[in-house]
Amino acid sequence: MSSSRSFYHRVLSGGTAVERLVRHFKISFPIGEGSVGVISSLQIADILERMNRLRSVELTLSGNLLFSGSRIWRALASQTSLCDLTLKYPYRYSLGSFLLPSSKELRNIRPLKTFHISTPRHYDTTVISAESDLGVILLNSRETLEELTLPTVAWDFPPFPNAPIDKGLIWPRVRSISTGTLEHSCHLDFNWAFPSARYLSTRGCLSTWNDSFNRPFLSRLESMEGLAHEFRSAFTSAAMKLRRVAY
């Protein structure tokens, strides 16, 4: 904890020379305003605003960092070199309320190569649509995204086979996908949306993987993990040729 505070003061006192050197930033401990030895959320905002050449950021969104997020999101959106963003939610908060506030600060974030959102297993369902903040981020990154981790979601884009190509509902470069629980009404066409994906980690939704339109997607996979025994029939019927399986 003391080292993080020391880092904060070095950034503030080091001027542009220090600010331009840092490329990767990670906060993975609880954050609390006024706690002795603990860097505050306002200090996190100071750091992100000053270090304008970051390529990757990982934030554990606990404590009051959730409640002072607007400045954090604006700082992230202003990064011109950011490629990789990881947001971890260790507690049961509403993703829509805290990750992407109504002021829409993160909608303008530059196209990402990797985007990971990690939440507890029983987290509230997040709706992803063309109008949602998370959906806008995904659409803006559709030509660049290579790795994607989603929480428990309800996918509310139009059904892919019926959507015109110019809707942009394809992420052609994504190779690795990790999903939380998919809502039973989701029926996301992974084969259409992620034609290059070869690695899958999922908590699953049996109806999604039993959908016939997802069998070509399953048959291309080289690695999968997190699937319980009841999913084996769906994957067996897809004639998968896996190199790695982890339950």
Round to whole Å and give the CA distance between 26 and 120: 20
- Structural domains counted in the chain: 1
pLDDT given for residue 84 in this prediction = 98
Please check whether residue 67 is in contact with residue 93, taking contact to mean a CB–CB distance below 8 angstroms: no
Task: Report the pLDDT value the prediction gives residue 24, as an integer from 0 to 100.
Answer: 92
CA dihedral sign, ordered 188, 189, 195, 196: positive
Per-residue pLDDT at 35: 45
Percentage, residues of the chain above pLDDT 70: 63
Main-chain phi, psi angles of 214, to 5 degrees: -95, -5
List of residues 6+ apart from 53 with CB closer than 8 A = 19, 20, 22, 23, 79, 80, 81
pTM recorded for the entire structure: 0.82
- List beta partners, residue 88: 60, 118
pLDDT of the residue at 78: 92
Q: What per-residue confidence (pLDDT) applies to 109?
A: 93
pLDDT at 34: 42
The per-residue pLDDT for 242 is: 73
Q: How far apart are the first and last CA of the chain?
A: 36
pLDDT greater than 50 at residue 96: no
Residue 42's domain comprises 2-246
Output the pLDDT for position 177.
Answer: 94
List strand residue ranges (DSSP E) for the chain, in order: 24-27, 56-60, 84-88, 114-118, 126-128, 147-150, 153-155, 176-179, 199-202, 223-225, 244-246
CATH of the domain at 184: 3.80.10
User: What pLDDT is stored for residue 137 in this prediction?
Assistant: 92
DSSP classification of residue 222: S
DSSP letters for 149-192: EE-SEEE-SPPGGGS-GGG----TT--EEEE-PBPTT----HHH
Helix (H, G, I), strand (E, B) or coil at 88: strand
Contact 22, 54 (CB under 8 A): yes
Task: Judge whether residue 235 has pLDDT over 80.
Answer: no
Lowest mean pLDDT among 73-82, 116-125, 145-154: 116-125
User: Which tens digits make up the pLDDT trace of 39-57?
Assistant: 677 888 888 888 889 999 9
What mean pLDDT do residues 222-233 have? 68
Closest C-alpha to 79, from 101, 112, 102, 103: 112
Per DSSP, the three-state class of 242 is coil
Q: What is the pLDDT of residue 79?
A: 93
User: 226 in the Ramachandran plot: left (φ > 0), alpha (ψ -120 to 50) or beta?
Assistant: left
* Residue 148: per-residue pLDDT: 96
